[in-house]
Structure 1
Amino acid sequence: MTQFSKLHGFAAAKTYLLEQALTVSDLFERMSHVDDDVPGWSERKQDTDDVPLIDPPAPDAVNGAHCMQALAILQLAKTFEDRSLPDQLRDRPPVCLTVRDHEMGEFVEIAARALYPVAFAASRSPKVWRAPEVDTGKTVIALAERHLRTLLHEGHTVLMLTSPGQLVSPQLQDLVGHGPHLAPLSREMILAVLSLSHTPCSPRVTEALQATLPRSEELGRLETLKLIMAFQAETALGVAERLSRFATTAPHQTGPSLTDVFGQTDAIAAFAQLQEDVMSWQAGEVAWDQVTSSLLLFGPPGCGKTLLPTAFANSAKLPLIKTSYAECQKAGHQGDMLRALDKAVSEAINSAPSVLFIDEIDAFYARGGDVHANGYILGVVTGLLTQIDRLNACEGVILVGATNHPDIVDEAVLRAGRFDRHIAIKPLDITAITTFLQAKLGETTDASQLRQIAERMIGATGAEIDDFIRKARTLARELKSDLTDQLLLRAANLYLPRPDDSLLRRIAVHEAGHLLAGHRLGSPPVALARVTPQGGAVLRPHRMMHTDVTLHADLVMLLAGRAAEQILCQSVSDGAGSGPDSDLAQATRLALQAEAQFAFGEVTHLWHDIRHPPRSYDVTRDVARRATARLKTAEKDAITLLSENRAALTKIADTLFEQREIEGQALDQLLEDAMRDPSETEIENREPKTPDSNGSPQSSLYGKSIIV
C-alpha cells in the first residue's frame, strides 16, 4: 500500500500514529511495509506470495481513537489542500470550519496541531476554539463565546470548530459567516489509515478491502463513534467488514423511485437529467457550477410535489433532508426559526451529495406593505435568501422547493440563481391515471375496465388515486375476495363520484366558454381542457406582460365560463366564484391590478398593494368602483361574443361532454373546426369602441387585431 505516501497529510498521520503508539516496536512492526517518508523509517521486503489471504491478528488491540485522529489529519489536509490553513489564518482571521458532529471536533483540533505543528505551537498566535455541544445549556455556551471574544480581543487568529445546529449567537455568526466544511471521508483515506494502523496486506487482501468497503458517500454519513468502533477490529479486513455493516444499517431513505411517479413528464425528465448530472459530477466529468441543482415545483395540492423529491433521492441514492416553514416555525420565535432552518441546511451540506426539500415555500410570502406589520416575514425571508445563497456556494446539494401558490412567493426567492428551474406539477390526465392504476393493481385487471374507472377520475391527484386503491383493497379484504374487475367496479361505485350528466354538461358548457373566448381573443394557446365530476379546467400559460387591451381580453376570457352558462343553461352556477383561485377571484384581482397597480385607468397613477386573495378592506371604494366597471364590461362583452358564436360554443361543449378530456393538437383542431361552422356570424372586422371616461373599454376588441 505504498501508493498512499503522496496523499495529502499522509506523512503527518504516520508521524502522529508513531508518537501515540504504546511501543515503538509495535508500530514499527505494523508500519514497516510503508515507504520511508518519516526520518529513520525503513521498509521491510517480503514475498507477497507468502502473505496469507487473511491478515494475522495485530500484536495489541488497535486504538480506534488514534486511528480517527489520523483520519482527521487526512480530512483536514484535503480541506485545505489548495491553500494551507496557516495562510488562511494569517489573511482572514478567524476561520470557521464546520465538522459533522461535536465529537469529531475533538479529533480535528488534534489533527490541526499535528498537521501544522509550527503554526499551532504554544508560542504562536493561532488558537483553536471548539463550540460547545448544543445541549450544554445557555450558560456554558455564553462562557464559551466569552472565551472566543477574549481570544479575538487579544489579537489571536482563531480556528473555530462548529457542528450543524450549533447554538452560536447571531453576532458571532455575522462575524465569521459560513466557512468551509471538513472534507468528507473517502475510501482512499480509510485505506491509507489501515496501511498505517493494521498489519500488512497482500494484493489479494487489498482487493478484498476494495470490494468490502462502502462507497465514499456512505462512509461520509457514518457517526464518529461507529468509525472508532470499526477501527478497533484486529485486521484491516475486519475494519472494512464493520464499516460495511454499519453503512448497511445506517438510516437511509426508502420508498418510491422515479419509476413510481406517473404523468409528470416534465418533472421526471428534469430529475432524471439531474440524476445523470450528479453522477457525472461525482465522477469528475462535470463541474458543479454546470449542474442545474435547484428546482421549484408548483401546482395544486396532492399532485406529487412532495413525492417527487423523495422519489428522486431514492433513485439517486442520496440522503433527503426535509423541512418547511411550519417545521421551522415550531422551534419558537424568529431567531429559533432561523436557527432551525440553518440546522436543516447544515445537515444537507454535511451530507452532500444530498437533497434538501423545503416545502411550503409560499409561506415565505413576498416582503412589502406595512414595515411594522411585515417585520417578522421580512427577517424570515431574508434568512431564507441567506441560506439559499449559502447552498449555492456549496457543491453537491440539490435544492427542491414546493408551493401551491408561486405568485405570492417573494420574487427574490424565485429568481434565477436561487431556484433556477420552475416546473408545473399538474393533475394527472386520463392516460397517466390508467397507467397509474395498472401499475398499482397489476396485470390481472382488464385494461378496458381501468379505462372506465380512469374516466371517472380525470383530474384526480396521485394522492386521490392512492386513496381509491387502498379503499378497493380494503373492500376486497372485507369480502375475502381477490381484487377482480367486478370488485374494482363495485369499489368505484362506492367511493368515486357517480357521473351526473346534467352537472357534467354544465361544466362542459362552462369550460367551452373559456376555450372559445380565449381562442377568439388571442389568449396564449391552451394546452388541455377537461371535465370531471369535481369540476372542469382549461390549462393555458400566463402572459408574461399585459397591455390594457390584453388585460381586458383576459377578463373576458375569465368571465366567459359564467357567460356560457347563462347563454346555454339559462342560469349561472357558483362555479365561477368558488374559491380564491376561481374565475371570478382571478378576474377581480386582475381588474384591481389594472386600476391600482398598472395605472391603466385615467383617474390616478398611485400604486396600491393588492393582496392574494384580495381583501375588501384593502381596496378603496373608488378603486373598487372602477374595477367593478371593468368586470361588468368584460362580462357584457363575453356574453356578446359567445352569443354571436353560439353554434361554435355548442359544438365545443358537446365534444367536451363526450370526450371528457382533450389536449394538444386535438384541442386546436376542435377549436378550428368549430369556428368553420357556416352558421357563424363573421365578426373579424368589428371595430373597437373607445374607452369611457373612467378608463374601462365599452366593448371588447375581438378578432385578429388583438392576437398576441
Structure 2
Amino acid sequence: MTQNFPSLPGFSAAKSHLLEHAQTVSDLFERISHVDDDVPGWPEPEGIPDDAPLLGPPAPAPLNGAHCLQALAILQLAKTFEDRALTAMMRDGRPVCLTLPDHDMGEIVETAAQALYPEAFAVGRSGKIWRAPEAATSGKTIIALAEVKLRSFLHEGHSVLMLTSSEQTASSQVQDLVGHDLNLAPISHEMILGVLTLTHTPTSPGVTDALVETLPTSTKLCRLTTLKLIMAFQADTAVEVAQRLSRFAAAAPQKAGPKLSDVFGQEEAVAAFMQLQEDLNSWQAGEVSWEEVTSSLLLYGLPGTGKTLLPTAFTNSAGLPLIKTSYADCQKAGHQGDMLRALDMAVNEAINSAPSVLFIDEIDAFYARSSEVHNSRYMIGVVTGLLTQIDRVNATAGVVLVGATNHLTIVDEAVVRAGRFDRHIAIAPLNLAAITSFLQAKLGDVVEARELRHIAARMIGATGAEIDDFIRKTRTLAREVKSNISDRILRRAADLYLPCPDTPLLRRIAAHEAGHLLVGHLLKMPRATLARVTSKGGAVLRDQRIMQTDKKLNDDIAMLLAGRAAEQLLCNSISNGAGCGIDSDLAKATRLALQAETQFGFAENIMLWHDIPHPPRPFDIPHDLASRATERLKAAEAKATTLLSDNQPALMKIADTLFEAREIEGRALDLLLEAATNMDAVKEPVFEGKDAPTTNEAPFSVQYPRDLQAHLILRKA
C-alpha cells in the first residue's frame, strides 16, 4: 500500500506545527526526517528504500498526545474547508459555525485553525475564534456572558469562526447569525497514517498495510473521545498507536440485550433500522450528509408487539445511547411547565449524546390539538411544545428520532407529517412463521421442530412480549422440576400457561373473519394479505384505500360490519367482538359514517364540514346526525347480510378452512377466496351408518362435507 502523504491536504501545515511544538528539534527531526520535504528551510532527507524495516526505538522524550491530535485536527480542518476556503467564507461577514465531535475538541481545533490559517487569525487581522459554552454547566447567565465576547467581536467588525458541539450551546439569536454551518470532517485512516509518519517511527509500505489492518474502522474512530485519541498517540510506536486505537474502540461498552437479529416477524421495521444503521455509519465516515438520511421513524400497532423492543435492539446493534421518554414520564414531572421541561431535558440529553437515539413512547397520549377533549387548551400548549422539541431533534445531525403509538389515528397530524416523522411502520402481532422462528431461536437446540410448530400454532397472534413470557415460564418450570427443557416440559408448560383452545369460540371468530374476507372479496376491495383466528380474537389485514367515494365508503362500512352479519347468519347471534374499543369494527364503521355526513360532503341535503372527536362521544353528536349515520350503518349491514346469504357455501368454506389453519396469508389466501367463490352449491349431508348421530356424540362423528361440518359446529356455539 503506497501512500503519498505530502499530498494530503494540510500535511505541510501539520508538519510545521509539530516542528514548532517539538520538545527538541533533534527529537522531532529523528521522527520525521524520512518524510518528503515540503516545509521551507527543511533539510533534504536521505533516501530510504521502500522495504526499509522499522528503525530503532524512538528518542526517550515522550510524545505529547495533544500535539499529535492538533496535527490530526489540522488535516481534518483542511478536509472540511478544502484547504484554504475558510478565509473566503469568513470574508462574507457572517460567522462560520463549525460543529465538533465533543466539547474537549474545542481547544484542539482552535489551535489547529490558527496553525492552518495563520493569515486569517494573525494579530491585528479580522479573524477571531469563539467557542460556545458547555451545555452541562450553562445557565442563561453563563450563556449571556460567553456571548458578550462574541458580540464584541461582531461589533468591532471581526469575522468569526464559531466552534460548537452537541455538548455546547448558543442562544437562538446567535444561531440566526450563522452564515456557514459545517461539521468537522471525520477522521480517516489516511489522516491517522499521515500523522503517524510525522510523529512516530517511520514505517515501510508493508508495515503501513499492517497498521491499516490494525486500526479500527472509520466509524469506530469517529466515536472515540478526544481524551482516548490523545492517550493513543502517546504510545511509543506507530504500531502501538494503532493497537491502542483498536483497543479503545473495542472497549466501548457493548450493550447487553437484544440485537436486530433477535427481532422476528417485523421484516419492514428491521430492514428500515438496518438501513438506518448503514446510513449512520456512512454519515459518520463523511460519505453522506445528514440531510440525506431518513432519521425519524414512527412505529404503530397493538400493545406488546415490539414497538419498544425495536429501538432498543437498534441501539444495541449500532452501539448508540438510547434516551427514552414518554407522555407519562413527562407528565409525572408536574404541570405544563414542568412537563415541557422534562421533555426538554430528554431532548438535550439526546442532542448532547449524539450520535444517539431519542425514543418517545405514547405519542398518542399527547392527543390531537383539534380534539375537543377536557382541558384541550392545556393540551394545545403541550403538543406545541412537543412539536418544537421534535423540530430541534430533526435539526440536529446524528440524532435518530423514534416514536411509538398504539393508535395512529388520534395522533396530531402535525406530529406525524413528513419532516417530523418521515416514515411510518406498522408493527403487527407475529404470524405463525415468525413465532416458529422465535421459538426455534430460543429453544431449537433442545426441542424437536415438530413440537415447536405445535406450540407456535397455539400462539398465533401472540406478541413478542408474550412469547418471551412463555419461554421464561418454561425455563422456570424446568428448574422447578430439576429437569432440562424437553418436549415433555414444553408440552406441560403449554398446558399450564397457554389458553386451551375453545372450539365454539374459535368457530365463531372464524365465521366473523370469514365474513370480512368474503364481502371484501365480492366488493373488489383492496387485497386482504392475512387472516388470523386466535383465542383472543381474529384479524384481517388489508391494503388501505388512498381515496374514498360515497360508494367505496359504503362498501368499506359493509365490509367492516360483515363480521357481525356472518355471526348472525352462522351462529344465530352476534357477539361483542365487533364493538370492543376505539379500533373495533363498529367504531371504524361509525367514524366512516359520521365522516361521510360531516366531512366528505356525501350527505344528501347538507354540505357543511365540521370536526368529529375521536372516538366520537354520543353527547357530542346531534340527534339528526346520529340518525343519518345510523341509517347508513344499517344499510351497509343489510348489504353485507345479503351478500353473505347469497354466498353462504363460500362463507362456510372460508370459515372452515380458517378454523383449521388458524392463519392464512399471501397467495394461499388469494387461492382460498377464489376457490370458495367458484365452488358448487352445498351438497346434502351424507350419513355413514344406520342413523343420524345423537346430540351427545362428538362433533364430526357424522361425515358431512367439510363445509357443512363448520356450519354445524358454528350453530351449536
Q: Tell me whether the two structures share a fold, i.e. TM-score over 0.5.
A: yes
Letter in 1 for 2:70: Q
Matched residues in 1 for 2:189 and 2:358: separation?
25
Q: C-alpha deviations, 1:448-504, integer Å up to 9, x for none?
A: 222221111011122221221111111111111011101100001111111111111
Change (3 A) 1:442 1:369: closer
Structure 2 match to 1:121:
122
Matched residues in 1 for 2:497 and 2:586: separation?
31
User: Does structure 2 retain, via aligned residues, the 8 Å contact 1:93–1:157?
Assistant: yes
Matched residues in 2 for 1:89 and 1:214: separation?
35
Q: C-alpha deviations, 1:81-139, integer Å up to 9, x for none?
A: 17711211222511111112211111111111111111112212222111112233423
Structure 1 match to 2:557:
555
Change (3 A) 1:442 1:134: same
Of 500, 519, 522 in structure 2, the residue corresponding to residue 520 of structure 1 is 522
Structure 1 match to 2:474:
472
Matched residues in 2 for 1:204 and 1:372: separation?
70
SS of alignment partner, residue 182 of structure 2: coil
> Which runs of structure 2 are paired with 1:284-433 in the superposition (5 Å)?
296-308=298-310, 311=313, 319=320, 321-323=322-324, 325-326=326-327, 329=330, 332=338, 334=340, 337-338=343-344, 340-341=346-347, 344-345=350-351, 347-348=353-354, 351=355, 362=364, 368=370, 373=378, 374-385=380-391, 387-388=393-394, 390=395, 402-409=404-411, 411=413, 422-433=424-435
Matched residues in 1 for 2:302 and 2:515: separation?
23
SS of alignment partner, residue 176 of structure 1: coil
User: Does structure 1 retain, via aligned residues, the 8 Å contact 2:129–2:161?
Assistant: yes
Q: C-alpha deviations, 1:414-441, integer Å up to 9, x for none?
A: 5667666544332222222222212211
Structure 2 match to 1:689:
none
Is 1:142–2:148 an aligned residue pair?
no
User: Does structure 2 retain, via aligned residues, the 8 Å contact 1:512–1:564?
Assistant: yes
Of 207, 210, 214 in structure 2, the residue corresponding to residue 208 of structure 1 is 210
**TM-score normalized by structure 1?**
0.85
User: Does structure 2 retain, via aligned residues, the 8 Å contact 1:647–1:679?
Assistant: yes
User: Does structure 2 retain, via aligned residues, the 8 Å contact 1:385–1:413?
Assistant: no
Matched residues in 1 for 2:311 and 2:550: separation?
40
Q: C-alpha deviations, 1:193-219, integer Å up to 9, x for none?
A: 221122323444433322322122111
Letter in 2 for 1:97: L
Letter in 2 for 1:551: L
User: Does structure 1 retain, via aligned residues, the 8 Å contact 2:54–2:201?
Assistant: no
Matched residues in 2 for 1:670 and 1:154: separation?
80
SS of alignment partner, residue 179 of structure 1: strand
Change (3 A) 1:611 1:58: farther
Of 562, 571, 576 in structure 1, the residue corresponding to residue 578 of structure 2 is 576
**TM-score normalized by structure 2?**
0.84
Moved more, 297-306 or 235-244: 297-306
SS of alignment partner, residue 491 of structure 2: helix
Moved more, 284-293 or 319-328: 284-293
Matched residues in 2 for 1:258 and 1:221: separation?
21
Moved more, 648-657 or 356-365: 356-365
Q: Which runs of 5+ in 2 are unaligned?
A: 683-717
Q: C-alpha deviations, 1:5-51, integer Å up to 9, x for none?
A: 11111111111111112222222222211111111112432555996
Matched residues in 2 for 1:236 and 1:94: separation?
38
User: Does structure 2 retain, via aligned residues, the 8 Å contact 1:62–1:234?
Assistant: yes
User: Does structure 2 retain, via aligned residues, the 8 Å contact 1:55–1:235?
Assistant: no
Moved more, 6-15 or 273-282: 273-282
Matched residues in 2 for 1:173 and 1:275: separation?
29
Letter in 2 for 1:23: T
> Which runs of structure 2 are paired with 1:654-665 in the superposition (5 Å)?
654-665=656-667
Matched residues in 2 for 1:573 and 1:92: separation?
73
Is 1:89–2:90 an aligned residue pair?
yes
SS of alignment partner, residue 119 of structure 1: helix
SS of alignment partner, residue 119 of structure 2: coil
SS of alignment partner, residue 180 of structure 1: strand
User: Does structure 2 retain, via aligned residues, the 8 Å contact 1:55–1:200?
Assistant: no
User: Does structure 2 retain, via aligned residues, the 8 Å contact 1:512–1:649?
Assistant: yes
Structure 2 match to 1:45:
46
User: Does structure 1 retain, via aligned residues, the 8 Å contact 2:17–2:115?
Assistant: yes
Matched residues in 2 for 1:115 and 1:284: separation?
21
Matched residues in 2 for 1:338 and 1:366: separation?
20
Matched residues in 2 for 1:469 and 1:168: separation?
51
Q: C-alpha deviations, 1:650-686, integer Å up to 9, x for none?
A: 3322222222112233323333333345558xxxxxx
Moved more, 576-585 or 563-572: 563-572
Matched residues in 1 for 2:138 and 2:656: separation?
71
Letter in 1 for 2:471: I
User: Does structure 1 retain, via aligned residues, the 8 Å contact 2:232–2:241?
Assistant: yes
Moved more, 35-44 or 379-388: 379-388
Moved more, 577-586 or 40-49: 40-49
Structure 2 match to 1:260:
262
Matched residues in 2 for 1:175 and 1:627: separation?
56
Change (3 A) 1:624 1:88: farther
Moved more, 28-37 or 134-143: 134-143
Structure 2 match to 1:20:
21
Q: How far did residue 603 of structure 1 move?
A: 3.9
Letter in 2 for 1:87: A
Q: How far did residue 537 of structure 1 move?
A: 0.5
User: Does structure 2 retain, via aligned residues, the 8 Å contact 1:517–1:560?
Assistant: yes
Letter in 1 for 2:222: G
Structure 2 match to 1:629:
631
Of 639, 645, 648 in structure 1, the residue corresponding to residue 647 of structure 2 is 645
Matched residues in 1 for 2:495 and 2:276: separation?
42
Change (3 A) 1:464 1:174: farther
SS of alignment partner, residue 96 of structure 1: strand
Change (3 A) 1:280 1:140: closer
Matched residues in 2 for 1:236 and 1:462: separation?
49
Letter in 1 for 2:211: L
Change (3 A) 1:172 1:632: farther
